[in-house]
Amino acid sequence: MSTESRAVPRSACETSVGGTGYLHRRYAESFAEFGVPRELPLCGGWIIERTVPGSDLPDAMGCYPLFACCDWSRLHADLADLAGKLVSLTLVTDPFGDFSADLLCRCFDQVVPYKQHYVTDLSRPTTDFLRRRHRRNVAKALEQLELETCEDPSAYLDEWVDLYAQLASRHGIRGLRAFSPRSFALQLSAPGLVMFKATAGGQLAGLHLWYVQGDVAYGHLGATNDLGYRCMASYALYWYAIDQLRHRVRWLELGAAAGVSPQGPGSGLDNFKAGWATDTREVYLCGRILEPRRYEQLSRGQGMGSTSYFPAYRAGEFSAAGTVAP
């Protein structure tokens, strides 16, 4: 882990309700079906408070897919205030978070390298980094597709819900990552959301969602239908996103390969994202025990004392839930 801070421009946190995208209250509220959004007031981040299965005790997790906050230097104080109020907290760090190795280790009991996320430095010309195969596929896709930026993403809620339902069915996505229409309504209306649309012959082929936070645009979710697959809409939409976002941000955050465990180099999604990237950044899975006695009791009661999963009493909770790449 780097010992240097990795700053996110303060403009990411300048709205009256705490920021755009993953920093905004509305994004946290999109997980209300799974728990109670809880603000960390000093650092400007959000977590989701949940009830531990088989008990009436609360623990918490960061919002999917990443925990972002405005001031990482004050996270420790927020966590100290949670002591005794929650059993534990688990989150995955923002690859562009302004933190150091020392800061994470002061805040958490466990800090584990989780995944390498692909990132793109938009100060570099696309021709410097885009792979030859990607260039060929972009050219083919652009011959078949029309692309546009959706001025009002919320107006496309029904189309997006239908596209994502097809994706969820195809990949067996369930649970937290399945997202309900209500959840998507909140996400599409959160400040910083940018939606790109691909059509072929007037028919919808795909939609991609990005969140702009300061100098970074985070690739949130994307979905294409059968027409989009045939026309390679994902290639055209990524190309278009680079063109449209280049004058708004310095960095693109492309996420990682899908799954709770890294698929590693060579998987289809891994190769696709690598083809657009200029570098990678590590994200960390972090856990803190906030009520040690309760944590030990819950873990022992589940027979999970020797597992490396955190929190131990929730081991296996995502093993069959499907996923979308964070």
Order across the sheet with 45-51: list the strands.
Answer: 36-40, 45-51, 58-62, 88-92, 279-289, 110-121, 251-255, 216-224, 203-213, 193-200, 146-150
Q: Supply the pLDDT for residue 176.
A: 85
Which pTM does this prediction carry? Answer: 0.90
Instruction: Give every CB contact of residue 143 below 8 A, 6+ residues apart in sequence.
Output: none
Q: pLDDT by residue (tens digit) across 231-289?
A: 999 999 999 999 999 999 999 999 997 554 444 444 688 899 999 999 999 999 999 99
pLDDT digits 0-9 by tens, 45-79: 999 999 999 899 999 999 999 999 999 999 999 99
Residues 6 or more apart in contact with residue 283 via CB below 8 angstroms? 66, 92, 93, 94, 95, 114, 115, 116, 117, 256, 326
Each residue's pLDDT tens digit, 72-118: 999 999 999 999 999 999 999 999 999 999 999 999 999 999 999 99
Q: What is the pLDDT of residue 11?
A: 45
What are the pLDDT digits (tens) for 196-209?
999 999 999 999 99
What are the residue ranges spanned by the domains of the chain?
10-115+283-314, 119-281
The pLDDT score that the predictor gives to residue 263 is 41
CATH 2.40.160.50 fits 119-281, yes or no: no
> Tens digits of per-residue pLDDT, 119-150?
999 999 999 999 999 999 999 999 999 999 99
